[in-house]
Amino acid sequence: MEIDVTRGDVRRIMETAFEPQGDGFAYYRNVWAKGVPVTAAERELFVDAWTPEKSRAFHRLIAGRAPVAPARGLKPFGRIARALPVGVVSAIAAGGLAALGLGWNGASGPARLALWSVAGFLAVVAAVLFWFRRSRP
């Protein structure tokens, strides 16, 4: 299965790491991190044509800045779900179905339990992602 992820898709995903803050933005490295101040130009550096090298350069650029906003927790999950291409969400669901099928037909004992656990987890993740994609503006 090939998933078509465009440059625009990557940009939308990377934009979820930022929230408006005053005349700039707060950057959140992950859901537990506090927001660090960045300018619009620095934000653009991060989201435009993202690569691991640019990410490392961006993190070196903002290293040592004092946080200006509290951690977001799971609040941005809806934005992230909507930013993911539907093919990615579908691939997660397909992975869950494959694990279910392998657990049902090709495994026994602990392996079956592990595959069913993976299938259940992926099914829940896919269901939540689809729900967020459909129910939030």
- What pLDDT digit, counting tens, does each position of 80-112 carry? 777 777 777 777 777 777 777 777 676 677 877
Query: Which three-class secondary structure string do you get for the chain?
Result: CCCCCCHHHHHHHHHCCEEEECCEEEECCCCCCCEEEECHHHHHHHHCCCCHHHHHHHHHHHCCCCCCECCCCCCCHHHHHHHCCHHHHHHHHHHHHHHHHHHHHCCCHHHHHHHHHHHHHHHHHHHHHHHHHHHCC
Query: Do residue 54 and residue 98 come from a single domain?
Result: no
Q: Which of 32, 58, 75 is the last residue of a domain?
A: 75
* pLDDT at 9 (0 to 100): 78
The total domain count for the chain is: 2
Domain that holds residue 109: 78-135
Residues 93 and 63 reside in one and the same domain:
no
Q: Whole-prediction pTM value? A: 0.66
Pair (70, 21) in one structural domain: yes
Q: What would the pLDDT profile of 28-87 be if each residue is shown by its tens digit? A: 988 788 999 999 999 998 888 678 888 888 999 999 999 999 988 777 767 777 777 777
